[in-house]
Structure formats: C-alpha cells, structure tokens
Structure 1
Amino acid sequence: MKKIVSVLLALCLLIALFSACQGGQTESGKPKLAAEAQKKKAVASAAASQALQEEEGIKPLRVVTDSYQIRSWFSESKSAPDLGKKAFQEILKHFGGTPNGMEVELEVLPLESGRYEAELTHLRAELMAGAGPDVFLLSGFGGCDAKLPESSLFPNPEHAMASGFFLPLDEYVENASFMDLGKLQKTVMDAGCYEGSRYILPMFYRLPFGDIYREGNPVNPAELPASWDEALVHEEQLVRDNYGMQMFSVGFRQAVFGQIADNVNEELLIEQEELFQRTKEAVELYREMKSHYTPITYDETVNSSWGDIVSGGKATSSVPDETFYAPRNSQGQIAAAVEHWCAVNRNTQHPEDAFFIADILLSKEFLSLERFWGKENTAHDGKGKETKMFWMAATGNVPVYADYLTTGISYRNATTYKNLREALAEAESDIAYVYFTGNVDKEMDRMFREFIDKVDAGEEITDEEIRKATDKCYSTMKMMLAES
C-alpha cells in the first residue's frame, strides 16, 4: 500500500511541477507567479500526502501563538479560541495549503495566568529537549497596560536568536512565494538578523506617536522638540503635555530611551543614575499633564484604531489644525518596538512546510487582513470574530510593508487620516533603533506604571521613593539579562 501511495504522490508532484513551469510572467512578477505555482502544487499533492501521513503516523505541523491575549485585551472579550483556529484553517486553504500537504495545528496559549505560565514552562522544556512547535507567532506585550501578560515564550527574543533557537531563513526568504522582501521596512526587518543571517521575521511594530490640536493655529513641525530634554523645557504647554501622555500610550521605556541593553551579551547599557533621573523627569511631566488633562473626544464618523497613539487632541475626520508627529527620546531618536513576529523552530523536521506558514504570515494579504476568507467573516466591519484573533494591527501597531503608510491601501488603521499616514511614513523613514520587546523592557514599564497609578490617585511621590523603585528595577533588569 505504501508503494502505491508513494507512486501516486510522485505522479501528482510531477504533474504539479509541469503545470507550474507552463505559466508566464504576470504583472506582479515573480512573487505572484511563485504563489500561483505554490497553490497548484499544493492542491495537486494534498490528498496523496495526507494519506501517506496518516498511514505513517506523521504528526501535524505545530504553530503556537499568543494572539488570543492580544485579541481579548483589545476587544475586552473572551470568545472561544476555536474561532481563531477555524479562521487559521481558512487562511491556509486560501493560500493553497502547505507544500507537502501537511496538516497544520494552531496551538493557542490560554488566557488564564496560571495555565498560561504552565504552558510556557512546558513549551520551553520541549525546546530544550530538541522538540517544540514548528512555527512561532508571538507578541511582545509592550507598553504600559497592566492587563497584558508580563512574560512571553521567549523573554529575550534577540538572545534566543543568537542562541540558535530559530532556523536561518535566508535561503527560504529568497524563494518566498507570498512575502515581498523588497517592500518590507528594511530597518525593522534587519532587527531579525544575527551575524548576517535572518532568523526572526517582524510583522508589526510600534512607533511613539502623538498629535497636537490647536484650533486656528496649528503647530509648525519645526517648532517641535528634537529630543526628550528639549521637550522638558519647551515653552508650549501642549507639547510638554503630549510628551507626558506618552507615559500611558507607548510607555516610559520607548518614550524616553533608545537602546537600553545589549541583549545578546546580556549587558545593561544605561547607568543606574540615568534611570533614576529620567524616571523623576517623566513623573513630573506626567503629573503636569494630568493636572489639566481632559479626555479626548472623537468624531463618530472616524473609523480608526489609532486611539492609543493618537493622543492629546480633538480627533475628527477632518483636522487641518491637528499636527501629528513622533516624539523623540532622550537620544533625539525614534525607536521602534517590534510587537508581533514569527520564526521557525530550529528543531523542525519539516522546514519547507514550516516556512510556508511564515511566508503567508508576512504576506500583504495576511498583514492587511484583506477579505480573502469571506465577506461574512471580515474583521474590517466588526463581524469577523474568527479573524480578529489575528487583528494585531488594531492595537495601533504598524505593518512592516512600508507602502501601507504612503498608500493606505487595505490597511484599515492608516486609511482614516491622510496627515497621520504622512507623519507615520516620515517617522518610519527616520527610525534609528529597533528592538524586540522583551522582559527587560517590560520591567521598566512595570516600574513606571506604579508611579502612573500614584499620580492618578493624587498621591505625592518623593525622590526617595523614586530612588528605591529605580534601584530595584535596575537590579531586576540585570538579573533578567543574566538569566536569559
């Protein structure tokens, strides 16, 4: 029986390959041609491959994700993860299925804290034993929101990359069928490289962003501060307030600092005294902003998910008096935080099929959530409960396809404000440093979040309290780096 199935499989593969070779170039060029060939090949061989897998007991390809946490945090609901699993199968079907017809199983990490931590421990044990999921679709959980998990499967993604947990993808990326590397944001994508090889594929990243609404007298961008230090003494109250708002939007860590650690060599790059001083400055700036802060109001016609980063003004569908910009950190830089990424397990026994998953995750169709899996299930109109598990852009993050910020095509978050989109594109072109949100970054935001709570409660904060908190935070970050 095995011989018969093998012969059928070989014939199907030959037919698929012959068919793929007959196509000519399309307007989209190589990526589209390769994608169509991939689909034809997969459809032709899927049945025979699955029959062979069942007979020989081959296990499904495993894809693990923590996207359920993001989906539940954003929508404040806890719908069954089975909906997301169903959507993932539809996505695979749309792209023609894996090259060798392998079944794919989406493993969704649970929401409950105890179960979530237990599953992380189990997965890490698998990885250390030379096994584990074939593909990782993971989040950074950065920013200042206390509802997001404090830990992730890889607490230090850059160190994990250097330690050999992920498969080198250079050869696969060169022959990708769905992603278009030439159109991806190079500075962000290069953050997933180590010693000349590509291991991690960033998907969405976060930019520090604010806006200033001054009716009848819009702010001239040339008047905006060139660094955190300039913002502290800026004569314009709205500007100082906007920097203060960064503390509860992108968070203290990204708003104030550029590179804070050498994650590969496990070394902190900021001094303990600097952390104290910057924390003290940020507390005062946040307190000043809160003393006359009024809630933001939004025009009901606006269909945008940029609410968490479009802060500090009255946002409407037409705002000629509103100035969007990217606040600079203490080094005068714009730092980008990779919040969603994927990688292939170095231990996978099926690298071609595993990369196929990564390939579609980096496709424009997936990152924009175009309606390729049915109008009744689209996330765009609020009815797509299934697809919203993968609606990572809805958290205000930016996709790695740079042209979405200039055209806005299909990208829901960047279609509402033309001036916002232009400002994002300008900031994107000026990114000086990119990092994967890790436990060290989250520890800094966790520390500052306690001060936010105290200011919100009207409590006084002494220098001694700040010193004690920053000293503890600094020691904890050093320990985290040593344990990564």
Structure 2
Amino acid sequence: MSNHLFMHLDDYIQEAKYIEWDNLQPMVMEAGRNDEGWQLLPLTYTFEATFFEGSYKPESKFPMTWNEMIENPDPNIRAAASNARIENILGELADFEKDAPAFTEEELKRVAAKSYATRIALPEELRMDGQPPNLAMDLGDLSGISMAGDQEYTMIPTYNLSGGITANITTFAAINRNARHPDEAFKIIDYLLSPRVQQTSPIFQSGMQGMPVYVNIGDEDTPSSSKWSMNETHFKQIYEAQKHINVVKFGGPLDECLNNVLAGKDDELAEKSGHEQYVLMEMLLAES
C-alpha cells in the first residue's frame, strides 16, 4: 500500500451495489486501509481456537491475556494457551516505522519456553497428540468438527499478550493502479463481498483459505447447503470471538521465522532457536 501499487477504493465502496459494509468484520477490513484510504479489501481471514466437548464450560471469564491463560488454574485453559502458535500469541510482529520487531528477543524466548513448560506439565489426556484440537477458522482445519451437527463444542480462542485475538488475512482483493478496466474490476469485488456469495459460492468454500469476512457467516439465514452452516451454539461463539479481534496482520516471512522457534526441557533450545530467528527477523525488516 505504501508503494502506491493499488487504486484507492473509497469512492467505489460508497457506490457498491452488493457490499453490506456494516456486516463485514471491522478490524479485518481496516487492515486494508492506510492514511490515503482503502486499497485492499480482505475477503477471508482466520484465527485459532481450541475445541473442547460441549459439556465443559470454563468458569473463568474471557477475554484475558495469554499470560493470564497460561497461569489459569483450569488445565483446559492452560492447554489452549500452550497449544497456540507463537505468532498469534505475540500479536503485532513488527514496528514498520522503525523496521524492527514489535517485541524483544527475551520476550520471544520467554513465550516459547513458558508455552513448552506448560504443555509438558498438563494432565496426560491434554498432552495427547492433537488433543484437544487447536484449529484455525478454516473449512479444511475444521473438517473434523461437525459445526452444523447436534454435537456441540466449547471453543477457547487464542488470546494474545495484549488480551485480544490475532486475526490473519488469508485472501484479499485489490485493483492495480494501472488497470485498464477498474470499474469492471470493482464490480467483481463488489459481487464477491455480497453476503450470499460469501455464504454459498464455491470460490469461498473451496478456493480460498479461511473464513469469509461476513460477520454473520453461519447464522440461521445461512443456507443449509453452505459448508459454513453451523448450529446456534457454534455460531454464537465465533460471532462473539470476532468482537475480541484487536490485531490483524497479513502473513509473511516473519510468521515463518516464528514457526521455526523451538523449545525444549532445558530451555537451551528456545534460547538458541529464539536468538537465531529473532536475528533473522531483524535482518528481514532492515531489508524491507
């Protein structure tokens, strides 16, 4: 956006025929805007959550910070925290004005080591491979969860260090500044962002990763044929979780660096890999 590659879309948005702007996830949509206006329009995004049997109801109130989750007396909440991906725990990854990471190396190592230490101290049933399932809001990831069936799950989202949920944009639309037919290009974007297309189009259901930006996806008006159809319990949990989104980012090489941070019993692994990946992040940001 800062390199002026894309057209400003504000005027187009005001004249849109199908977009219901008030029903699009506000924090996610805001990520496509800078001081000059909207240039990118997110189409899909995801956040992660851990799923438990519906009979389990946590006594603690959410939202809470990741640090509060990792110290919570409820082992299920600690499991949800220790299963989370580091990039989603940290939330903001970079201060792009300073071309530097948004967190210290020590903080990165602490999160990696604490997450590992918490996970190996959990009750055995919470340490089993893939249990409890930590999933992204994506049809592929959710394939083992019957969102529309009678079985109900209790969902605990990953909360970041600042006490909100980190969302990751997986698909967005934009128009090149040199486009020969910008009006026609925006008609396609307008159509893609209509509620019914987001609910039912194969483009969204098998061609894109993540969940549509339509906030009511999965509600009672979602056609039963939609793969995003879900029962009322699951819809309410996802709808409420959206309200806690406070960090939105586009995936990139910084996420890959954090995926390579490892931890071990003696903390030496977290120390070594944390340092290596933090230095690599500094190099990538300095070159950006």
Question: Among the aligned pairs, what percent are the same residue?
Answer: 23
Instruction: Show the counterpart of 2:285.
Output: 481
| Distance in structure 2 (CA, Å) of the matches to 1:352 and 1:473 | 44
Pick one of 81, 84, 102 that aligns with 1:269: 102
User: Measured at CA, do residues 219 and 346 of structure 1 come closer, stay the same or move farther in structure 2, by a change above 3 Å?
Assistant: same
> For residues 51-200 of structure 1, what are the structure 2 equivalents within 5 Å?
161-200=1-40
Decide whether the 8 Å contact of 1:185 with 1:401 is kept in 2: yes
The one-letter amino acid paired with 2:190 is D
User: Measured at CA, do residues 169 and 314 of structure 1 come closer, stay the same or move farther in structure 2, by a change above 3 Å?
Assistant: closer
Decide whether the 8 Å contact of 2:52 with 2:132 is kept in 1: no
Pick one of 118, 127, 142 that aligns with 1:285: 118
Instruction: Show the counterpart of 2:197.
Output: 366
| 5+ residue gaps, structure 1 | 1-160, 299-303, 371-378, 380-386, 452-459
Q: What TM-score comes out, normalization by structure 1 length?
A: 0.52
SS state at 1:344 partner = coil
The structure that has the greater radius of gyration is 1
| Distance in structure 2 (CA, Å) of the matches to 1:334 and 1:310 | 22
Q: CA RMSD in A?
A: 3.2
User: Measured at CA, do residues 469 and 166 of structure 1 come closer, stay the same or move farther in structure 2, by a change above 3 Å?
Assistant: same
| Distance in structure 1 (CA, Å) of the matches to 2:221 and 2:266 | 46
Instruction: Show the counterpart of 2:141.
Output: 308
User: Measured at CA, do residues 317 and 350 of structure 1 come closer, stay the same or move farther in structure 2, by a change above 3 Å?
Assistant: closer
| 5+ residue gaps, structure 2 | none
Decide whether the 8 Å contact of 2:33 with 2:40 is kept in 1: yes
| Distance in structure 2 (CA, Å) of the matches to 1:310 and 1:264 | 40
Decide whether the 8 Å contact of 2:77 with 2:156 is kept in 1: no
Structure 2 residue 225 is matched with structure 1 residue 391: no
| Distance in structure 2 (CA, Å) of the matches to 1:315 and 1:179 | 26
| Distance in structure 2 (CA, Å) of the matches to 1:204 and 1:295 | 25
Decide whether the 8 Å contact of 1:408 with 1:421 is kept in 2: no
Report how far residue 462 of structure 1 moved. Answer: 3.3
SS state at 1:276 partner = helix
Q: What TM-score comes out, normalization by structure 2 length?
A: 0.83
Decide whether the 8 Å contact of 2:63 with 2:244 is kept in 1: no
Provide Cα deviations, 1:371-399, integer angstroms capped at 9, x if missing partner: xxxxxxxx5xxxxxxx588532xx5x221
Instruction: Show the counterpart of 1:410.
Output: 223
| Distance in structure 2 (CA, Å) of the matches to 1:278 and 1:399 | 30
Report 1 or 2 for greater relative contact order, CA contacts < 8 Å, sequence distance ≥ 6: 2
Structure 2 residue 158 is matched with structure 1 residue 327: yes
Instruction: Show the counterpart of 2:149.
Output: 317
| Distance in structure 2 (CA, Å) of the matches to 1:468 and 1:297 | 29
User: Measured at CA, do residues 431 and 480 of structure 1 come closer, stay the same or move farther in structure 2, by a change above 3 Å?
Assistant: same
Report how far residue 180 of structure 1 moved. Answer: 2.5
Decide whether the 8 Å contact of 2:168 with 2:250 is kept in 1: yes
Report how far residue 315 of structure 1 moved. Answer: 8.3
Instruction: Show the counterpart of 1:203.
Output: 43
SS state at 1:178 partner = coil
The one-letter amino acid paired with 2:40 is I
| Distance in structure 1 (CA, Å) of the matches to 2:232 and 2:276 | 44
User: Measured at CA, do residues 325 and 232 of structure 1 come closer, stay the same or move farther in structure 2, by a change above 3 Å?
Assistant: closer
Provide Cα deviations, 1:267-312, integer angstroms capped at 9, x if missing partner: 32111111111111122234445953165699xxxxx96573699x
Instruction: Show the counterpart of 2:186.
Output: 355
Alignment: residue pair count = 282
| Distance in structure 2 (CA, Å) of the matches to 1:306 and 1:347 | 35
Instruction: Show the counterpart of 1:238.
Output: 76
Moved more, 268-277 or 344-353: 344-353
| Distance in structure 2 (CA, Å) of the matches to 1:263 and 1:365 | 37
Provide Cα deviations, 1:327-367, integer angstroms capped at 9, x if missing partner: 31222111211111111112223222222332233233432
Decide whether the 8 Å contact of 2:19 with 2:193 is kept in 1: yes
Decide whether the 8 Å contact of 1:360 with 1:366 is kept in 2: yes
| Distance in structure 2 (CA, Å) of the matches to 1:288 and 1:310 | 29
| Distance in structure 2 (CA, Å) of the matches to 1:349 and 1:245 | 47
Q: 4+ residue stretches of structure 1 with deviation over 6 A? A: 313-316
User: Measured at CA, do residues 188 and 224 of structure 1 come closer, stay the same or move farther in structure 2, by a change above 3 Å?
Assistant: closer
Report how far residue 221 of structure 1 moved. Answer: 5.2
Greater fraction helix:
1
